Amino acid sequence: MADNTNTNPQLTGAEILWATLVGEGITTVFGYPGGAILPAYDALRKFPIHHVLVRHEQGAAHMADGYARASGKVGVCIATSGPGATNLVTGIATAMLDSIPIVCITGQVSSKVLGTDAFQEIDITGITLPITKHNYLVTRAEDIAPTLRQAFQVATTGRPGPVLVDITKDAQQATAPFDFAAAAPTEHRPHPMLRADSSAMQDAIELIKNAKRPVILAGHGIIESGARAQVIDFAERRQIPVASTLLGLGAFPTYHPLSLGMMGMHGEAWVNNAIQQSDLLLAFGMRFDDRVTGNLAKYAPNAKKIHIEIDPAEINKNVKVDVALIGDLRKVLDTLLPLMPKNSDASWIKEVDAMKGNASVRDIINLPDNGHLYAAHVIHDIWAEALAANRLLQTIIVTDVGQHQMWEAQYYKHDALRSLITSGGLGTMGFALPAAIGAKAACPEKDVWVIAGDGGFQMTAAELSTIQQEKMAINIAVINNGFLGMVRQWQEAFYDKNYAESPILSPNFVALAAAHGIAGAHVSKRKDVTAAVTQSRTSGKPFLIDFQVEKEDGVYPMIAPGSGLHEMVRRPAANPLLETAEDV
């Protein structure tokens, strides 16, 4: 589009908007039209951009988010002013708390009437100020291209995050010369970085060399910085076991002998115990969220801590660290690795392995069929089916929020990067279905599974219609337990089983899918799980399976609020059949 002569084409602001997105490499956007964004929609067809029409703008933001998480590229969503813009809010906040690069474009009333409470005027830059990395109000056509390009830069550099660009209707309608190259953002202010000669580097090396019981805490930052190879190299060279955060799952392959699995509130006992007994924690691109530390006063009391993190504001926020290495994880590890001597002492690894005890023997998924279907069965069998079909590296699981999400994290073995998409920081119910649409749009060749609870699925079930309109072969597993399961589990544990408003009535999900022209099946026996999963995966069309599982099952281990990481609540002993973790 760029023209090197001084006769750059005069385009409308609306055309500039799309042309800039095309220039940024965007091929798909998720959105919903309305008055203040209509000039943009009017120009849409002239550009090679596929627009996915959502059923609720929250879905558009989650789709952009799912697109970004699946592809590593920026996801883009678009909405009109007022209610269109406010509907985006939950989706933007979800992306903010998980550091996901999305660009949200909203229409705004004309600049002439800004601030007059005009029809569908809302101060969306004000509303989203604390839930965006940055946002902009654009009132002139000539500012659209530079602002959008800057938005892409802000979304992707440093610690990624959502950026909102609010564009007035008159800016979309006015004309301006368009020059994509000239609209490139000026050099970005520098991100805080570790100086190569920093004494912190030396301190870190000393701590690592002297550690006898180190544990790597693998976070989402590994995925964002592309440091998987470096982390594997590091762990192998020093023989350090690797525990993952929820968003770090997939960053370090599960099949690796040094992989421990997920840590934290619902982490397996040996993972949390290894952390509590460790003498050095290496936090790689993670932020010591309260869900992974438990009671801070009791957290890894004998461990020194090294924090490698791109965002200086995370240093010493929750956990006081001994050494902070600030910068892009991959670059820091690249500097650190050549200075790390090899270590072949496997005694700590053996000790950690021994902590696993007979957990796997007693695990529900390995016990004989008792006629009941457990969520753990379903998740394990979805994983096993993909493994058997040699599709594991081509499968993306998108979860909703609740018990099923934690079981997913425990029972699905994530080997591939970006193979798990889940709302960690905000814990947004209703995330799974729209985020899966975004993931499928980014990776049409992959098998995409939605795993959602009966509660969360109903929050955004309207997007079934989007799936059908887009003809997307998405697999949907509803883990149907008749309860807002995670709420029920908390009521069972902490509120004397007072199940206030946690039982939930659901429609016949298969019939609901059918109403959208989507095929489906009910499954209530373990023996039927795999066949249904295969049928769905190979149908080449969207497919919904309603898994009717054990109603009052619980996720264990579990750390009660205020407890230390090692003070895990185990499955009640009365029913040993249901033990899902180490039985010490």
Ligand X SMILES: Cc1ncc(C[n+]2csc(CCOP(=O)(O)OP(=O)(O)O)c2C)c(N)n1
Cα separations (Å) of 214 from 201, 291, 321, 345, 348? 17, 21, 14, 12, 8
Contacts of 560 (CB under 8 A, 6+ apart): 493, 494, 567, 569
User: Are 569 and 344 contacting, i.e. CB atoms less than 8 angstroms apart?
Assistant: no
User: Within 250-309, which residues bind other proteins (CB under 8 A)?
Assistant: none
Per CB under 8 A, 167 contacts other proteins: no
Closer CB to other proteins, 309 or 385, in the complex? 309
Per CB under 8 A, 417 contacts other proteins: no
Residue 434: exposure state from Cβ atoms within 10 A (0-12, 13-18, ≥19): buried
Q: How far apart are CA 228 and CA 326, in angstroms?
A: 18
Residue 309 pairs in a beta bridge with: 326
Region from 86-94, 183-191, 366-374, 525-533 binding other proteins, contact rule CB under 8 A: 183-191
Q: How far apart are CA 219 and CA 284, in angstroms?
A: 6
Per CB under 6 A, 429 contacts ligand X: yes
Region from 112-120, 231-239, 320-328, 351-359 binding other proteins, contact rule CB under 8 A: 320-328
Kind of pairing between the strands at 163-168 and 102-108? parallel
User: Least distance in Å: CB of 126 to other proteins?
Assistant: 7
| Alpha helix segments (H runs only) across 368-452 | 375-388, 403-411, 432-442
User: Within 378-417, which residues bind ligand X (CB under 6 A)?
Assistant: 400-404
Per CB under 8 A, 406 contacts other proteins: no
Residue 39 pairs in a beta bridge with: none
Taking the CA atoms of 55, 57, 59 and 63 in sequence, report the sign of the dihedral they define: positive
User: Least distance in Å: CB of 194 to other proteins?
Assistant: 6
Per CB under 6 A, 455 contacts ligand X: yes
Taking CB under 6 A as the criterion, the residue among 77, 217, 487, 544 binding ligand X is: 487
Q: How many residues bind other proteins (CB under 8 A)?
A: 28
User: Least distance in Å: CB of 328 to other proteins?
Assistant: 12
Closer CB to ligand X, 46 or 551, in the complex? 551
Per CB under 6 A, 454 contacts ligand X: yes
- Choose from other proteins, ligand X, none: what does 454 bind? Cβ within 5-8 Å by kind: ligand X
Q: How far apart are CA 563 and CA 581, in angstroms?
A: 18
Taking CB under 8 A as the criterion, the residue among 51, 134, 256, 522 binding other proteins is: 134
Query: What are the backbone angles phi and psi of residue 188, rounded to the nearest 5°?
Result: -75, 145
Question: Which tokens is 102 given?
Answer: 């999305």
Per CB under 8 A, 140 contacts other proteins: no
In the block, tokens 């392995």 appear at: 353
Taking CB under 8 A as the criterion, the residue among 24, 42, 142, 311 binding other proteins is: 311
**Count of residues making up the chain:** 584
User: Least distance in Å: CB of 154 to other proteins?
Assistant: 6
Catalytic residue ranges:
57, 119-120, 169, 486
Per CB under 8 A, 168 contacts other proteins: no
Per CB under 8 A, 315 contacts other proteins: yes
- Choose from ligand X, other proteins, none: what does 498 bind? Cβ within 5-8 Å by kind: none
Closer CB to ligand X, 64 or 487, in the complex? 487
3-state secondary structure of 63: helix
Per CB under 8 A, 326 contacts other proteins: yes
User: Are 110 and 138 contacting, i.e. CB atoms less than 8 angstroms apart?
Assistant: no
Per CB under 6 A, 484 contacts ligand X: yes
The 187-226 contact track toward other proteins, x by CB under 8 A, reads --xxxxxxx--xxx--x-----------------------
3-state secondary structure of 480: strand
Question: Which tokens is 560 given?
Answer: 């009660």
The 12-41 contact track toward other proteins, x by CB under 8 A, reads ------------------------------
Residue 521 pairs in a beta bridge with: 545
- Choose from ligand X, other proteins, none: what does 312 bind? Cβ within 5-8 Å by kind: other proteins
Instruction: Report the 3 state secondary structure along 65-115.
Output: HHHHHHHCCCEEEEECCCHHHHHCHHHHHHHHHCCCCEEEEEEECCHHHCC
User: Which residues are at the interface with ligand X (CB under 6 A)?
Assistant: 400-404, 427-430, 453-456, 479, 481, 483-487
User: Which residues are at the interface with other proteins (CB under 8 A)?
Assistant: 125-126, 129-130, 133-134, 137, 154, 189-195, 198-200, 203, 311-313, 315-317, 323-324, 326
